[in-house]
Amino acid sequence: MNKNILILFALSIHFILNGQSVNYETSTLPFPIESVNVYTDRDLYLSGETIWFSANIYLDNGQESLSKILFIELFNANQKSIIKRKYKITNGFAKGALDIPIEFLSNVYYLRAYTTYNKNFAVEKYFVSAIQIINPKKGIPAKTENNDLNTTNNYSINNYSIVPAKARKGMQIVSIFKSQKTDNVSRETLSLELLDNCQEILSEAEFSLTSPSAFIAFPDSAFTKPGLYYYLLKNKQKEIIKIRAFIYRGLTKVSSKFELQKNEFNQRDSVNIELNKFAPSNYSQLGIKTVLKGSILSQYDKLKLFMNDPYLLISFIKTQFNPLIFNSKEINSILTTLNLKLNTEEYKNCFYTNDVFELKWKLRIKNTDLSGFVVDKSSHKPLSNIPVYLSVFGDRPQIYITTSRSNGSFQFSITNYDGTKDILLCPLYKNTDEIELEIDEEFTTVFPDFKSIALTLDSSHLSLLEKMLIASQFSKSQKTRSKQQDFSIENLPFSFDDPEISVVLDNYIATPTLKMVFKELVPTIRLRKRNNSYKLSVVDIENNILYNNPLVLVDEVPIFNIEELLTIPPSEINKIEIHYTPFTMGDYTLNGIVTISTFTDNLGGIKIPKSAIFSELQTISPAYNFKAKNYTSSEELKSRSADFRTLLHWDPFIQKNSSNKLQFYTSDQTGTYETYIFGIYKNGQAFHLKLFDFEVKD
């Protein structure tokens, strides 16, 4: 934080100069906040369509993001999560595609994004936005009145005013007034903070108010860029007294209008964009999209939609709001309404930060982490040094092993899967019925208290909805693949392919017991009985080595009770496979693996311990590259195959070393299209800017 500030009281002038560099690992200062910004291809969708999104993740202090996993949720007004996904973060960037279920009802839905690190902070600080989804089969809402911004007077009244004054000699002047209707002004300690649109404190000053007014000057160097800023007036207890949002326009005029060389195109025509003309010079990450006009709400419409909900409003201001596109009359109206809202208690609460000095939720390093605790079932006391086994079922079965720590916690790091997998967790303990596993919730179950938001898409938008419906139907009927997987999974820690021994029981005469099967058909398995309990060993025949206590898996489930294993009827067993070569998995060395596959769905009737848990594991979801049609050949151009795309281009991450020229093609869908760029600046602030419109005609 830069504390360059000039305080003026009558003829006295005071300078405060302070800079600091913090090592958060060793300092007593709170941990920085990790910010997440999400951009979608549109704001309006039909059920059954795809939401394309990208996300930028970074620390508010400008450092590189810490997290490796991004959590994405789509939930409804009843705070029920309908879609939950996890995506890999690479160099502070993530991307993906969410398929909207066809049965979704017409309504406003909420998109939320956060990291494990974010879970150390209040949920009100998570990124959240709203999208509108229409189900054409369920009807379209009736036309609603197009009201202006709500200028409610339901705000707290106090005796203070913050009034930005005319700039002088490179200084931004702000006056602090206290109402003269009050009693004689007593000496009062106050502080004034300058915040950017992301609520990062740029400058602050503490002063004593001994007269009805004070004047404070901020140098232009304190402002990072033209845009929206806040003044926060606080008392000695650091309670917010007053908030004033204002626009800083900078020393040079910033153009917000761009044009292509031509603004009319034919169907299936080539659109060429020179990015050098449009991209900000100081960007860190840059994306671009071109969509049918109307499917992205205007800045003014989003303000109307979000103004009554503090969390949606603040999130919008942080990531997409661009006040420079409005004229003076419009921005004055916006600021009037915004400042009324900001000085209500629920909006003030959005500016308070709950400092975090210790991380409860540790960072996720791998693609998928599964964590929890081993506890005593009766006392709920944590149990340490308990082996915990994780089985992953499906077409690529796998086994993982870890040990509970001194506080009973355990964690699996999984890098080898995508999508949702069925799993089983099972502890190894002398009496497994006396312990239980408590699994951590990866997705948070806490939600802010969102206000009700009405659909803005109604029967007055029939032309837009018809075009969207045609595009959606075309996509389904033609099975156009516009998603190209951009994700590679790592090799599994153990391959169950190519066992040293494989015995298919149907190839032999029926045997009454599994004990006899081991003895007669699988000579590499040795079964011995000691102290009224059976032990299993496997023999490396080539090297004549005996390995005791191999891992036994029945339908990928670890079985530790050999007596229970021997109860499986051989008629229900498909095959027995043996890997007798020792295998190291983390801190464990497995003396071979015996796998038994059954024809049943109940492990051949084996009773598993009560402490075992069957569950679903949400692993990493694959990212996708947008793949649109191109018409580079005359055959493609003359093709009778219909193309009614309303999303012409989506590239959320443009490589800096790539060509400065961008090319894509229009579709058969006529109408007006809008092109936007989005991303983050080098200082970590987000941007979402409209570049230009163009027409596609017959």
Alpha carbons 131 and 664: distance in angstroms, whole number: 26
What percentage of the chain reaches a pLDDT higher than 70? 85
pLDDT tier at 432 (50, 70, 90 boundaries)? confident
Contact indicator for 568, 511 with CB cutoff of 8 Å: no
| Per-residue confidence band for 9, with pLDDT thresholds at 50, 70 and 90 | very low
Whole-number pLDDT of residue 362: 61
Residues 505 and 614 occupy one common structural domain: yes
Assess contact for 129 and 38: CB atoms under 8 A. Answer: yes
Measured distance CA(33)–CA(530) in Å, rounded: 59
Do the domain assignments include residue 555? yes
Q: In sequence order, what DSSP letters do the residues of 614-679 get, joined into one string?
A: EEEEE-BPPPEEE------SHHHHT--S----SEEEEES---TTS-SEEEEE--S--EEEEEEEEE
Query: Quick one: pLDDT band at residue 151, thresholds 50, 70, 90?
Result: low
Is 480's pLDDT higher than 70? no
CA distance 635 to 271: 19
Please choose, from the candidates 694, 693, 688, the residue with its C-alpha nearest in 3D space to the C-alpha of residue 43: 688
C-alpha span between 69 and 114 (Å, rounded): 9
What local confidence, expressed as pLDDT, does residue 137 receive? Answer: 84
| Residue that finishes a domain, picked among 587, 603, 618 | 618
Distance CA 203, CA 525 (A): 74
Question: In this predicted structure, which of 137-146, 370-379, 450-459, 555-564 has the lowest mean pLDDT?
Answer: 137-146
- Per-residue confidence (pLDDT) for residue 49, from 0 to 100: 93
Mean pLDDT of the chain: 84
**Do 22 and 157 have their domain in common?**
yes
The whole-angstrom separation of Cα 383 and Cα 131 is: 45
Identify whether residues 524 and 612 lie together within a single domain.
yes
What is residue 125's predicted lDDT score, i.e. its pLDDT?
87
* Residues 429, 386 contacting (CB under 8 angstroms): yes
Owning domain of residue 395: 368-439
Tell me: do 422 and 523 sit in the same domain: no
- The closest of 382, 386, 376, 370 to 407, measured between CA atoms, is 382
Give the DSSP letter string of 205-236: EEEEE-SSEEEEEEEGGG--SSEEEEEEEE-T
Same domain, 432 and 525: no
| The pLDDT value given to residue 435 | 93
Backbone torsion region of residue 671, taken as left when φ is above 0, otherwise alpha when ψ lies between -120 and 50, otherwise beta? left
Cβ contacts of residue 89 below 8 Å, gap of 6+? 55, 57, 65, 67, 68, 69, 70, 115
Q: Over 50: is that where the pLDDT of 18 sits?
A: no
pLDDT value at residue 662: 87
* Domain limit, last residue, from 557, 590, 618: 618
pLDDT tens figures, 595-611: 999 999 999 999 888 89
Report if residue 521 sits inside a domain. Answer: yes
Instruction: Provide the residue count of the chain.
Output: 698
Using pLDDT thresholds of 50, 70 and 90, give the confidence band for residue 404.
very high
Residues 9 and 157 both lie in one domain: yes
Distance CA 175, CA 194 (A): 13
Least confident range from 152-166, 328-342, 356-370, 634-648: namely 356-370
- Res 21 pLDDT > 60: no
Instruction: Examine residue 461 and state whether it is found in any structural domain, yes or no.
Output: no
Given this model, what pLDDT does residue 673 score?
97
- Among the listed residues 507, 674, 631, the one whose alpha carbon sits nearest the alpha carbon of residue 575: 507
- Say how many domains are in the chain: 3
Least Cα distance to 132 among 458, 521, 558, 530 occurs for 458
| 352 vs 430: CA distance, rounded Å | 50
**Sign of the CA dihedral running 179, 182, 185, 189:** negative
What's the pLDDT at 353? 75
Check whether residue 402 and residue 542 sit in a common domain.
Answer: no
Tell me the C-alpha distance between 526 and 546, whole Å. Answer: 9
Task: Determine the average pLDDT of the residues in 564-583.
Answer: 93
- Residue 368 clears pLDDT 90, i.e. is over it: no
Q: Which residues contact 112 (CB under 8 A, 6 or more apart)?
A: 72, 73, 74, 75, 126, 127, 128
435 with 538, same domain: the answer is no
pLDDT computed for residue 13 by the predictor: 28
For every residue of 487-533, DSSP letters joined together read --PPPPSS--SS-SEEEEGGGS---S-HHHHHHHT-TTEEEEEETTE
Number of H helices, E strands in the chain: 8, 43
Is the per-residue pLDDT at 447 higher than 80? yes
pLDDT computed for residue 1 by the predictor: 46
Do 11 and 160 share a domain, yes or no? yes
pLDDT more than 90, % of the chain: 46
Report yes or no: 622 and 418 within 8 Å, Cβ to Cβ: yes
Assigned domain for 10 exists: yes
Domain containing residue 534: CATH number:
2.170.130
Examine residue 229 and state whether it is found in any structural domain, yes or no.
Answer: no
pLDDT of residue 356: 62
**Start-to-end C-alpha separation, the chain:** 55
- Predicted confidence (pLDDT) per residue in 638-690, tens digit: 888 889 999 999 999 987 666 678 899 999 999 999 999 998 887 777 889 89
One domain for residues 22 and 166: yes
| Residue 142 located in a structural domain | no
258 or 444, which is more confident? 444
Q: Is 676 a member of any domain?
A: no
How, if at all, do strands 5-9 and 12-16 pair?
A: antiparallel
Q: What is the pLDDT of residue 544?
A: 87
* Other residues' Cβ atoms within 10 Å of the Cβ of residue 157: 7
Do residue 508 and residue 433 come from a single domain? Answer: no
**Can you give the pLDDT at residue 651?**
93
Does residue 668 contact residue 643 with C-beta atoms inside 8 Å? yes
Structure tokens at 410: 């355990």
| pLDDT one-digit tens code per residue, 284-299 | 889 999 999 999 999 9
- Which residues are paired to 205 by β-bridges? 192
What does the pLDDT look like over 63-88, one tens digit per residue? 667 788 899 999 998 889 999 999 99
Domain boundary among 618, 644, 676: 618
**Residue 10 predicted with pLDDT over 70:** no
Q: How confident is the model at residue 50 (pLDDT cuts 50, 70, 90)?
A: very high
Residue 630 lies inside a defined structural domain of this protein: no
**pLDDT score of 255 more than 60:** no
Burial 307-344 (b: 16+ CB within 10 A, else e): bebbbbbbbbbbbbbbbbebeeeebeebbebbbbbbbe
Are both 516 and 614 inside the same structural domain? yes
HSE toward the beta carbon, residue 100, CA cutoff 13 A: 28
